[in-house]
Amino acid sequence: MVGFLYEFHRDFRFLRGGAVSHPVRPVVTIHDEREAARHARGRVSVIEDDTAVRTVVAAVLTDEGYAVAEFSSADEFLDFEQRAEPLFPGPTCLLLDVKMPGLSGLELQRRLSGVLTNTPIVFMSGGSSAAEAVQAMKSGALDFLVKPFDDDELIAVVARALAHSSELAQASQSALDVERRFALLSQREVQIAKMVSRGMLNQVIAAELGIAERTVKLHRMHMMRKLGATNVIELVRLLDSLPDSPP
pLDDT at position 12 over 50: no
Boundary-marking domain end, from 175, 209, 232:
175
- Is the same domain home to 171 and 221? no
In a domain, 75, yes or no: yes
pLDDT at position 178 over 80: yes
Question: Cα separation of 137 and 101, whole Å?
Answer: 22
Q: How far apart are the first and last CA of the chain?
A: 34
CATH of the domain at 159: 3.40.50.2300
pLDDT digits (tens, 9 = 90+) for 114-155: 777 789 999 998 766 667 777 787 777 888 898 889 999 999
In 3D space, the residue among 69, 162, 66, 81 whose CA is nearest the CA of residue 121 turns out to be: 162
Boundary-marking domain end, from 175, 202, 221:
175
What letters, b where the CB count within 10 A reaches 16 and e where it falls short, cover 115-154? ebbbbbbbbbbeebeeebbebbeeeebbbbbeeeeeeeeb
The mean pLDDT value for 219-227 works out to: 93
Contact 47, 97 (CB under 8 A): yes
The mean pLDDT value for 216-244 works out to: 89
Domain, as residue range, for 146: 2-175
Domain count, the chain: 2
- Is the same domain home to 171 and 198? no
Question: Cα separation of 5 and 89, whole Å?
Answer: 5
Question: Cα separation of 188 and 84, whole Å?
Answer: 41
Count CB atoms within 10 A of the CB of residue 185: 17
